[in-house]
Amino acid sequence: MVNNISRILLSASLFTLSTTANASLITNGSFEQLAFNDNTQVVGAANNTNLASYQSMGSAWDVFYTLPGWVTTAGSGIELQKNVVTQSQDGATHVELDSDMKSAANTVMSQSLTSLTVGADYLLEFFYKPRTNAINDNGVQVFWYDSGTSFDQNMAAKFIVDGTKNITPSWVKQSVVLTAQAETMDISFGAFGMKNSFGGLIDNVSLVQVSNAKVSDIPEPSIFALSLLGFGLLVRRHTKRTKNKVLAGK
Ligand SMILES: [Ca+2]
Ligand SMILES: [Ca+2]
């Protein structure tokens, strides 16, 4: 029975996967959202630019503690750029995390992802472009951890990209597969290297589920509970059939 239930589970989860395969789980992955759902107004710490006014500006840059979907978890804030260093890979805006503040600091921005499937794989993709020709100046690290854990600069990065503009003059797609260890995971992007207000540029971040948890990864108590449920359904069906037979006088 467990085998049958496993097959049903697998079919059900494959169906779910096929219907959600293309939906990115990242909020504001292209950094184009200039308004919060609750209408919170935010102003940049460097130039006092209201986030909403990016819409009408031909070019702009400022440093924000929060953007829709993203929050600063280390450093001085997220630098949102529009047509000042380069065109964006997607849309009109992108971010840089070696932010231009009086004391330039390598910033970490984070987002929580909920309702993940423990044990399932997720493909993270984003576009990266190094701003300068200097070595050790444009690095970006990706961290992925259970939301119950606070971000820590000493965490091991799940992915690292670094480069220089002369060798990598255009946006390049980066990809890494991440496995969910909890239903709610945090993803963080952090700049590393020289803190000089010039760093790696990031745009078009997406995260999609690419595999289910293996049936063998489902905790045994769940299979046992499902077995009981299946057994209960069979008993109910059998009882109903017997009752119908009795009513029909068979
Ligand atoms: Ca964008
Ligand atoms: Ca730098």
Where along the chain do its domains lie? 19-214, 219-247
Structure tokens at 119: 């044990």
Tens of pLDDT, residues 68-84: 999 999 999 999 999 99
Mean pLDDT to the nearest integer, 22-29: 92
Tens of pLDDT, residues 179-237: 999 999 999 999 999 999 999 999 999 999 999 987 665 555 555 454 545 544 444 55
Residue 31 burial (CB count, 10 A): 27
- For residue 196, which ligand has an atom nearest its CA? 2
CA–centroid distance, 175 to ligand 2, in Å, is 22
CA–centroid distance, 205 to ligand 2, in Å, is 21
Mean pLDDT to the nearest integer, 17-37: 84
Nearest to 121 by CA among 53, 58, 208: 208
Are the C-beta atoms of 157 and 149 separated by less than 8 Å?
no
Distance (Å, whole) CA 11 – CA 183: 21
> Counting every residue, how long is the chain?
250
The SS3 of residue 65 is coil
- For residue 95, which ligand has an atom nearest its CA? 1
Percent of the chain predicted with pLDDT > 90: 72
Tens of pLDDT, residues 126-174: 999 999 999 999 999 999 999 999 999 899 999 999 999 999 999 999 9
Nearest to 205 by CA among 57, 54, 45, 91: 91
Nearest to 72 by CA among 45, 32, 54, 103: 45
Mean pLDDT to the nearest integer, 43-53: 97
Residue 192 burial (CB count, 10 A): 21
Residue 12: per-residue pLDDT: 46
What fold characterizes domain 19-214? Jelly Rolls (2.60.120)
Distance (Å, whole) CA 160 – CA 140: 6
CA–centroid distance, 62 to ligand 1, in Å, is 15
The SS3 of residue 118 is coil
Q: CB within 5 A of ion ligand 1: which residues?
A: 30-31, 88, 90-91, 94, 203
Radius of gyration of the chain (CA): 24
Residue 113 binned pLDDT confidence (cut-offs 50, 70, 90): very high
How are beta strands 78-82 and 94-96 bridged, if at all? antiparallel
CA–centroid distance, 198 to ligand 2, in Å, is 4
CA–centroid distance, 30 to ligand 1, in Å, is 4
Give me the chain's average pLDDT, please: 86
Tell me: pLDDT of 5 over 70. Answer: no
- Residues near 197 by beta carbon (within 8 Å), at least 6 away in sequence: 98, 99, 100, 101, 104
Q: What pTM was estimated for this model as a whole?
A: 0.79
- For residue 199, which ligand has an atom nearest its CA? 2
